[in-house]
Structure 1
Amino acid sequence: MSTVNSRQRKIWYGVGILLLLGPVVYLGFPARQTAGAVADSGGLGVLSQKRQQYDLGEATLGKVDPSSSAMNLLLLGLRGPAATVLQLKAIDYQERKQWAKLRATVDSIIMLQPHYVQIWKFQGWNLAYNVSREWDKVDDRFYWVKEGIKFLILGTNRNQTVPILFHDVGEFVQSKMGVSDEKKFFREFFVRDPDPRFKTTSGEPGPDRTINPDGKDSYLVAYDWFVRANEKDDNDGVIGVKGKTHVFFRQGPARALLYFAKTRAEKGLFDEHIPAWDRAYKSWMDDYGKMDFLGLDDKKYRLNCTEDELKALAEENGVTLQEQRRIWAQNLDMTNFRQWRDIADLERTPEMLEARRSSFEGKKAYNEGRNSDTMLPDKTVQISDSQKSLEAAMTQWAKLAEKYPNMFIDGDNVEDCLLLVQYYRVVCQLNGRNMPDSYPLKDIWDKHPSRHPDAERNFLIETRLQQRK
């Protein structure tokens, strides 16, 4: 017969509960956020601290609108359906052009699913590419491009171990500032934001520090993000990254430097032109070209490869030298590796530097208004400074094309030549003259009639941008 009465049993139960409560509190105590979002609970809350350390926590659910249907689903443990409801609402708000509600709904979605990478990728793209196109003013478009980039940056903060998000930030900055239809405006706005909130202490336009904290060129900011993405990708260039073909993923830093080098002459920074191309060439050939990648059937290849390296790779892959050469050539073509190598090589020559310089001087003469012919006392006509400069520039480009016939593999060189001719055409029109029957680069102009509207549009954009300065 037990000698323990009811009162004693209750005491023992209470002691047992307290003993078990100790480890529960030690492990499960909520972490306190300190400066820098570092979890600290004075030694308590081990599990919470680990969640913070490894970015596994879901601490933002309380920020979802408590009156929404999404919250009702969330309280029932239906986080997936709740996110779906919000996605549908976001699409509806976008179709009805209710931008404030769209942005708030997107914020709620990421609070529900902060580690679902596709949410960040899709909505970042949606804001930067789709929503921005709904606006007419280029300033407003730039605002929504920034919103998309900021959204992705927030995604990198919540997903520190996902390389593709870091890469996408670089891709967005690079493509929207350097490739989009509004690129000439956006690249300027990236360092001189038209939003008055970002004026410097001197009253001059400054950058939005959220996306450009150091006020750098957009391609250099993209370069920094690509470098971080490659650092996050700890597979050393062999195993693929989810979301992008690995050989394209890893070329981000080198491509950004190639694009950056193109801008030096555009800005009249001729002393920086050749050094920038030297740096880009080295990055493309050595940093990127010497990486190892896996192709089909996990066959290893290297883009910048010597004959001896080809033989060694063929032996390692267990294939013939002919098969290894085929794998190598196939990927050279796919990545345009040789094309960019040749472009960088050409841009580093003194002849190309002189062509870039003469183009800049010709456009500068036009934008300064030196476009009118002058009647001399002896009744002869002295052609305008801009026409002289433009003719000199076109002559320089024509000589370059004769020496390097493959230079027009780079479509940007075709665009540059057509734009020069468009400037020349406008100067002739201003002075009441038709285009002469023969002039430098006429063969290039006649060869690309489908690109004439692009040249006219680029002329209007470029001259309008000069007027804003």
Structure 2
Amino acid sequence: MTENNSFYRKIIYVVLLAVLLFPISYLGAPATVDDDGGKLALVRQEAGLGQSNLGAIDPASETIRMATLGLRGIAVSILWNKANDYKKREDWTNFRATLEQLAKLQPYFISFWKYQAWNLAYNVSVELDDVRDRYSYVTRGIDFLKEGTKYNQFNPHLISELGWFIGNKIGRADERVEYRRLFKADDDFHNRFFDGNPPPPEQRDNWLVSRREYEDSVSVVDDKKKSIGQKNPTTFFAAPAMSQINYAEAIEEDGVFQEKARAAWRTASKLWNDYGNREMQSSRGSLIRLADLNREELVARKLESEFQNLAPGVRDEIVAEKRANLPAEVVAALAVPESIRTEEQQRLAAEADASLDVSMQEIAEQIAKKYPDKAAQANKLANQIAEIQDRIFLIKNNRQVSNYDYWKTRTDFEQTSDALRARELAHAANQAFKEDADLLEARRLYEQSFDLWAKVLDAHPSLEFDSTTGSDLMEYVDKYNEILQQLDLRLSDEEVDASFPLWEIVEASDQERKYFDDIAEHKRRVEGSGQRPEPEADTPIEGDDPVE
């Protein structure tokens, strides 16, 4: 009896196993070229959870990882230690070989690709003496990062990082002149990087290639719906336009002006406007557009006017009631003119101002008490105003993060004939000074450039004098001043001062007080002649619109 029971149980187990094969096959069958696989394979594909959804699957990488027999973590630790040791010993051949081994073991570890690419492009390259050798390791770092994007082709962070390396390491390094020249002429690199389909020579500028990578990272977010994680959308989406701006600046630094420079700035302006009109998620989860500030403020003013007209005088009543409840010492502090208040009186006055502030919700509640029939409309308007004020606050904050207003103004005015000619004249002046040692010609060209810059600044009053443009102009002024010194002249000498139009720029940008005496002498001369002195950079002229 016992033997029969044992036999029957075995038969039941075999039957159950056979039955279970069907749901297991339905659920877990792997995908093949001809078949989509089981239910789990389909779900994995839809959710993008499969290894193939990350990027390329390298058979060699898979083989090496399987060969570690579950000890991949230990193998990785050993290789990291070896890589650091080779780096300390400056054994770059073994260092690179170790990185290649690590890449096979950690192909989907994003930080690995970023960290070791940085090692090659930034840390290793600076250890070499010859600029060509340094450039070689910069491009090896870029190649290494590019390899990482093949394994992680839908990771916007890694693709964006590639744009950063190509743009900033080549375009911002001390050796940027040599790096940019070598990059354009590097046929082997462009063949590798673009998989045998390199762009034409005129498109091989590092900033243009950088912009292309940034655009690819944005495309992954837009088209593949991938997340940018903790990255700030304001800076992430600005990157393509900033690369185009850097390209326009770089070619002018190289001495390229007129229509090519104009076209570069025109493209930069279009990209910046596209960026401003892009809908982005704010830190509070709401969607905003940076270009919507004026429109949102107009709507806010309209709603506030409608709200005030709903029950005129209610706000004043609330303020009067709050003021009547202020302590005597606070009232006394408010009565003292602001210019002569003590520190304690200033503190009390500030607290009073804060307490006298009236929110829209307070006004809505007061309207509901006095005019019950208007309560619903008052609450609706108060909520709409609070919502739009929150959007305005977020838009303003994010515009400051990307310096939106400055770059919008800059990309607009750099296209103008005056700005293009002004930069061309300044470049020619520098050439006359440095290469030809022609002081008189250099001075003449700089002065023509300054006259045109004064026209540009007058046409764009919103441009801050202490902006990046102000810093650019101060570089020109410094070189001009150097020429004056060799001619035994000073900026404040009457013959120079009389025609120099950029005193406001000098005053706003002279952080090192290099021109302190010249500025003082200029002001004395202006005041002595009865002319109206130029205002401080942050002080609007009475009767004019303030600089925003």
Give, in angstroms, the shift of residue 272 of structure 1: 2.0
Which is bigger in relative contact order (C-alpha 8 A, separation at least 6)? Answer: 2
8 Å CA contact 1:164–1:243 kept in 2: the answer is no
SS in 2 for 1:234: helix
Q: Give the corresponding residue for 2:262.
A: 274
- For residues 187 and 451 of structure 1, the distance between their equivalents in structure 2, rounded to whole angstroms, comes to 35
- For residues 142 and 59 of structure 2, the distance between their equivalents in structure 1, rounded to whole angstroms, comes to 23
Aligned length: 391
- Once the two structures are overlaid, the 10-residue window that deviates more, 351-360 or 436-445, is 436-445
- For residues 335 and 291 of structure 1, the distance between their equivalents in structure 2, rounded to whole angstroms, comes to 14
Determine whether 1:165 maps to 2:158: yes
TM-score, scaled to structure 2: 0.61
- For residues 217 and 124 of structure 1, the distance between their equivalents in structure 2, rounded to whole angstroms, comes to 21
8 Å CA contact 2:159–2:214 kept in 1: the answer is yes
Give the 5 Å matches for 1:391-430: 391-397=447-453, 400-401=456-457, 404=460, 406=463, 408-411=465-468, 413-419=470-476, 421-422=478-479, 425=482, 429=486
Cα deviation 1:6-50 (Å, max 9, x = unaligned)? xxxxxxxxxx9xxx9xx9xxx889x9xxxxxxxx8xx699899x9
Give the 5 Å matches for 1:344-359: 344-359=411-426
Give the 5 Å matches for 1:350-369: 350-366=417-433, 369=435
Determine whether 1:250 maps to 2:237: yes
TM-score, scaled to structure 1: 0.70
8 Å CA contact 1:120–1:152 kept in 2: the answer is yes
Q: Give the corresponding residue for 2:401.
A: 334
- For residues 264 and 451 of structure 1, the distance between their equivalents in structure 2, rounded to whole angstroms, comes to 31
Query: Which entry has the higher C-alpha Rg, 1 or 2?
Result: 2
Q: Give the corresponding residue for 2:287.
A: 300
Q: Give the corresponding residue for 1:265.
A: 252
Structure 1, unaligned runs of 5 or more: 1-15, 32-39, 65-70, 199-205, 373-382, 453-469
- For residues 151 and 73 of structure 2, the distance between their equivalents in structure 1, rounded to whole angstroms, comes to 19
Distance 1:188 1:63, change over 3 A: farther
Q: Give the corresponding residue for 2:216.
A: 228
Distance 1:98 1:291, change over 3 A: same
Distance 1:77 1:353, change over 3 A: same
Give, in angstroms, the shift of residue 159 of structure 1: 1.3
- For residues 512 and 193 of structure 2, the distance between their equivalents in structure 1, rounded to whole angstroms, comes to 37
Give, in angstroms, the shift of residue 345 of structure 1: 2.1
**Which amino acid is 2:441 matched to?**
D
Cα deviation 1:95-137 (Å, max 9, x = unaligned)? 2211111111111111111111111111112211222222233
- Once the two structures are overlaid, the 10-residue window that deviates more, 128-137 or 410-419, is 410-419
8 Å CA contact 1:418–1:444 kept in 2: the answer is no
Q: Give the corresponding residue for 2:490.
A: 436
| Identity across matched positions, percent | 26
- For residues 385 and 400 of structure 2, the distance between their equivalents in structure 1, rounded to whole angstroms, comes to 23
Q: Give the corresponding residue for 1:290.
A: 277
Select 1:104's aligned residue among 91, 97, 103: 97
Q: Give the corresponding residue for 2:126.
A: 133
- For residues 456 and 287 of structure 2, the distance between their equivalents in structure 1, rounded to whole angstroms, comes to 39
SS in 2 for 1:241: coil
Distance 1:403 1:289, change over 3 A: closer
SS in 2 for 1:76: coil
- For residues 80 and 58 of structure 1, the distance between their equivalents in structure 2, rounded to whole angstroms, comes to 19
Q: Give the corresponding residue for 1:114.
A: 107
- For residues 119 and 389 of structure 1, the distance between their equivalents in structure 2, rounded to whole angstroms, comes to 52
- For residues 237 and 30 of structure 2, the distance between their equivalents in structure 1, rounded to whole angstroms, comes to 41
8 Å CA contact 1:63–1:111 kept in 2: the answer is no
- For residues 425 and 99 of structure 1, the distance between their equivalents in structure 2, rounded to whole angstroms, comes to 45
Distance 1:177 1:451, change over 3 A: farther
Structure 2, unaligned runs of 5 or more: 1-17, 301-380, 515-548
Select 1:182's aligned residue among 175, 186, 200: 175
Cα deviation 1:170-189 (Å, max 9, x = unaligned)? 11111112223332332222
- For residues 178 and 275 of structure 2, the distance between their equivalents in structure 1, rounded to whole angstroms, comes to 31
Give, in angstroms, the shift of residue 340 of structure 1: 1.0
- For residues 251 and 446 of structure 2, the distance between their equivalents in structure 1, rounded to whole angstroms, comes to 20
Distance 1:56 1:451, change over 3 A: farther
- For residues 296 and 28 of structure 1, the distance between their equivalents in structure 2, rounded to whole angstroms, comes to 41
- For residues 257 and 137 of structure 2, the distance between their equivalents in structure 1, rounded to whole angstroms, comes to 30
Determine whether 1:145 maps to 2:177: no
Distance 1:84 1:74, change over 3 A: farther
Cα deviation 1:266-295 (Å, max 9, x = unaligned)? 33231122232222112111x211222222
**Which amino acid is 1:291 matched to?**
R
Give, in angstroms, the shift of residue 418 of structure 1: 1.5
Q: Give the corresponding residue for 2:59.
A: 59
Cα deviation 1:132-174 (Å, max 9, x = unaligned)? 2222333222222111111111111121121211111111111
SS in 1 for 2:192: coil
**Which amino acid is 1:345 matched to?**
D
Determine whether 1:210 maps to 2:192: yes
Q: Give the corresponding residue for 2:441.
A: 385
8 Å CA contact 1:254–1:284 kept in 2: the answer is yes
Give, in angstroms, the shift of residue 443 of structure 1: 7.4
Determine whether 1:82 maps to 2:75: yes
SS in 2 for 1:209: helix
